[in-house]
């Protein structure tokens, strides 16, 4: 089964060896250069269980040419086509002794530049000075997420668990979720996981004292209505080494 067919049927796929050891080391170096001296602010969140950077590609734009290497660009183009852009990016660093876990959920919101009354755009929130809203399901169904793994991720250090094919059922409450065909998405260092936002996913606490760092990037190719804009939009085809 090819990548596109697996994503359509199961809601996700895993691809190893997207990044070389040299590329991973460069990404780690760029992140550490910024984070070592950065105090907590609206986009940097730090606790004993989690360190997260929201709007990651804006906070550390130097990482973009390394994230969007030829391998990743080819995967996006061959799987989804051209015209896609970043809509959101988050860096997650789950420390070795983290008790942080996430229950099963769907990713139902998008980041936008302002709050305005638009039909079928619901459940507005503001987090870290960022507007978020639940758009019509058609937008969510067409988007995808890529999770770039800087560390080897296993069931013992918080690998995502997913319910296969749950993305095809629409939006529904987690209480109605029937947990069957569950997959633990273990990914090698330098590999990626691609998933649909409506796929139910969760992660457990860390039990093996191994760190788990992931860069989570969401993509779309759709224009929002009535002057609403994606707040973190960067066009993929424009990302290249200079």
User: Is the pLDDT confidence value at 204 over 80?
Assistant: yes
Instruction: Find the domain containing 36 and state its range.
Output: 3-236
pLDDT at res. 65: 94
Closest listed residue to residue 142, CA positions, set 113, 119, 167, 116: 167
CA 10 to each of CA 41, 81, 85, 163, 239: distance values in angstroms, whole numbers, following the listed order:
37, 19, 23, 9, 29
Q: What percent of the chain is modeled with pLDDT above 90?
A: 70
CATH code for the domain of 118: 2.60.120.620
Mean pLDDT of 8-24: 97
What is the end-to-end Cα distance of the chain in Å, rounded?
A: 36
Residue 32 lies in a domain: yes
User: Is the pLDDT confidence value at 40 over 70?
Assistant: no
Residue 219 lies in a domain: yes
Residue 35 lies in a domain: yes
Residue 242 lies in a domain: no
20 compared with 42, residue with greater pLDDT: 20
Closest listed residue to residue 172, CA positions, set 101, 88, 104: 104
pTM: 0.92
pLDDT at res. 41: 56
Residue 241 lies in a domain: no
What's the number of domains the chain is made of?
1
Residue 209 lies in a domain: yes
Residue 131 lies in a domain: yes
Residue 23 lies in a domain: yes
């Amino acid at each position: 089964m090819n990548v596109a067919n697996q994503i359509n049927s199961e809601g996700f796929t895993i691809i190893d060896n997207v990044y070389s050891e040299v590329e991973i080391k460069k990404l780690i170096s760029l992140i550490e250069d910024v984070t070592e001296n950065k105090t907590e602010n609206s986009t940097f969140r730090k606790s004993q269980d989690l360190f997260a950077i929201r709007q990651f590609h804006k906070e550390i734009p130097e990482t973009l040419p390394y994230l969007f290497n030829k391998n990743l660009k080819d995967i996006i183009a061959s799987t989804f086509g051209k015209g896609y852009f970043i809509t959101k990016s988050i860096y997650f660093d789950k420390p070795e002794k983290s008790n942080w876990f996430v229950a099963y959920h769907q990713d139902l919101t998008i980041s936008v530049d302002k709050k305005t009354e638009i039909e079928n755009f619901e459940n507005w929130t503001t987090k870290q000075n960022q507007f978020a809203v639940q758009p019509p399901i058609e937008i969510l169904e067409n988007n995808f997420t890529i999770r770039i793994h800087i560390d080897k991720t296993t069931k013992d250090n918080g690998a995502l668990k997913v319910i296969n094919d749950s993305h095809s059922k629409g939006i529904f409450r987690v209480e109605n979720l029937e947990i069957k065909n569950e997959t633990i998405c273990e990914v090698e260092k330098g590999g990626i996981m691609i998933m649909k936002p409506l796929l139910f996913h969760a992660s457990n606490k860390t039990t093996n004292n191994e760190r788990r760092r992931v860069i989570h990037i969401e993509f779309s190719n759709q224009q929002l209505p009535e002057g609403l804009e994606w707040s973190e939009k960067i066009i993929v085809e424009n990302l290249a080494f200079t």
